[in-house]
Amino acid sequence: MNKQLTISQLTINNNEHYHGSPKNIKITMLLIWSLLIVNYSFAAGAIVQTTDALLIGGGARPLGMGRAFTAIVEDADAIFINPAGLAGLMAPEFMSMFTNLLGDIYYSEFSGVIPSPVGTFGVGYVTTGVNQVLVPIDPTTTVVSDYYDDLLVFTFSAPLALFFDYGRGIYLGINAKIFNRGWVGLSNASATGYSADFGIKYVVSPYLSFGFNRQNLLPIDLGGVLRYQSGAEETVAGINKLGVAIRPKPLNDNLLLACDVDIPAQSGRPVTGHFGAEWRFNKYFMARAGADQSLDASSPTLTSWNPTVGLSMSISGLRIDYALHPYYNNPSFATTYLSISFRGEKWSTLTGETR
């Protein structure tokens, strides 16, 4: 019987469906706890940890909401935040985002997703780097080089109920990630590596959803490591993202509230929180605001809260998002993010199955 269900029937678009059953809650919690147990069983130990480029972005819409987006993830940028959300898409979508962090770190991301009867497939690409970097080769020699840090992501996402007779409202998503980093013109300085993300989105009702994404869960033994030509190895730091999103019913879906907590998989990085709100004026314009907690070595708590704001304009599937994100209470560190996305028509094979 479950094989007869289609993607659209399993999404939150059906306001009449409520999936907050005790069984679904148990399944969701079981999945999360299983991930956490596996994760800490494969803790990286003493090896040096590097970071994921996805820490920067995910789209101007999430950034305008203080990066509280793990339980929302209803756009193509879900690839970079919680791939489970892609299971709710019913139309192909393309998204891009551009920024220049701290005036020197360029960052671009692109993603495209295609829903299908067996799940949603997607691909994402992030390229970031810094040009004209001073690189001390030895105590007496310094060269100037350009640094690149690229990430390629392949995604698959589907509702759990597509494969089982239970779990309606529970979406699962997985990313396979390929890292490629290095220095232009320098030998023995590039690295490649692999990792994976696993996300869950639990749509309790049209007004409430939860999200969980374990970024970079691949253990070293299974290849979750960056290997440099020099022989050095680094793991990509894992993060457990937990979020909740609420659309207050009295406001007719015009207000969206979200809260995220990022829990580092390994010790060292502090836990950070994220809050965001989005108000839809009409079908063309939306405004956002949020508070993003960032790592801040100069703060006694090692974190600092930063306000964020954002605007959105959409016309006929084309949407432009803008976000302004100051950092560290320093106006000179304010960064702007710009996203351009396009959502196509609902696929006929899917639209025919919608309510």
Partner 1 sequence: MGTKGRIFLALFIIGCCLFLDENISYSKYQLTARAVSLGSAAGNSLSYRIRGLARFIYPRVPASPGFIIGEGFLRSVYISRAILKPIVTGITPDSAIVGKIVNITNLSGANFQTGAAVKLSKTGQSDIIATDVSVVSPGKITCAFNLSGAVAGLWDLTVTNPDGRSGTLPSAFKISYSAPTVILITPSKGINDQQYIDTKISGTAFRSGLTVVLAKTGEVDINGEAIELKSADELNCRFNIYKKATGIWDVKVTNDDGQSALLAGGFKLESPEVELTKPVELQVSSNPQNPSIKITTIRYNLSKDADIVIDIFNMRGEKIWSLTSPVASSGGQIGQNEVVWNGITAFKSVAPSGVYIIFLTAKTGGQTKLLSKLKLGIIK
Using CB under 8 A as the criterion, which residues of the chain lie in contact with partner 1 when the complex forms?
Answer: 48-51, 53, 55-56, 101-105, 128-130, 132-137, 139, 142, 145, 147, 149, 181, 183, 186, 189, 191, 228, 230, 232, 234, 267-270, 294-298, 302, 327-328, 332, 335
Shortest distance (Å) from residue 312 CB to partner 1: 23
Q: Cβ of residue 76: shortest distance to partner 1, in angstroms?
A: 22
Min CB(125)–partner 1 separation in Å: 17
Nearer to partner 1, 127 or 349 (CB): 127
Q: How far is the CB of 45 from partner 1 (least distance, A)?
A: 12
Closest distance of CB 263 from partner 1, Å: 14
Phi and psi, residue 138, nearest 5°: -150, 180
Token couple for 311: 């605007």
Q: How far is the CB of 48 from partner 1 (least distance, A)?
A: 5
Q: Tokens 């090692």 identify what position?
A: 302
Least distance CB 178 / partner 1 (angstroms): 17
Per the CB < 8 A criterion, the answer to whether 69 and 323 are in contact is no
To which H or E segment does residue 183 belong? strand 170-183
The torsion angle over the Cα atoms of residues 30, 35, 40 and 46, rounded to 10 degrees, is -170
Nearer to partner 1, 145 or 314 (CB): 145
Q: Looking at beta carbons only, is 193 or 211 nearer to partner 1?
A: 193
Q: Which two tokens stand for residue 350?
A: 């899917």
Cβ–Cβ < 8 Å for 337, 60: yes
Pair 321, 329: CB distance under 8 Å: no
- The one-letter code for the residue type at 156 is F
Backbone angles phi, psi at 230, to 5 degrees: -75, -10
**Number of residues in the chain:** 355
Helix (H, G, I), strand (E, B) or coil at 122: strand
CA distances to 27, 39, 89, 149, 324 from 77, in Å: 26, 24, 11, 19, 18
Give the residue with the Cβ less far from partner 1, 4 or 298. 298
Q: Tokens 């304010």 map to which residue?
A: 334
Closest distance between partner 1 and the C-beta of residue 141, in Å?
Answer: 11
CB atoms within 10 A of CB 248: 13
The smaller minimum CB distance to partner 1, of residues 1 and 134, is found at 134
DSSP secondary structure code for residue 33 in this structure: H
Phi/psi of residue 91, nearest 5 degrees:
-140, 150
Tokens of 302: 């090692």
Residue with smaller CB distance to partner 1, 232 or 251: 232
Minimum CB separation of residue 97 from partner 1 in Å reads 14
Q: Give the number of other Cβ atoms within 10 Å of residue 197's Cβ.
A: 28
Q: Which is nearer to partner 1, 184 or 318 (CB)?
A: 184
Residue whose CB is less far from partner 1, 34 or 329: 329
213 contacts 82 by C-beta, under 8 angstroms: yes
- The CB density around residue 285, as the number of other CB atoms within 10 Å, is 12
**Which residue lies nearer to partner 1 by CB, 53 or 323?**
53
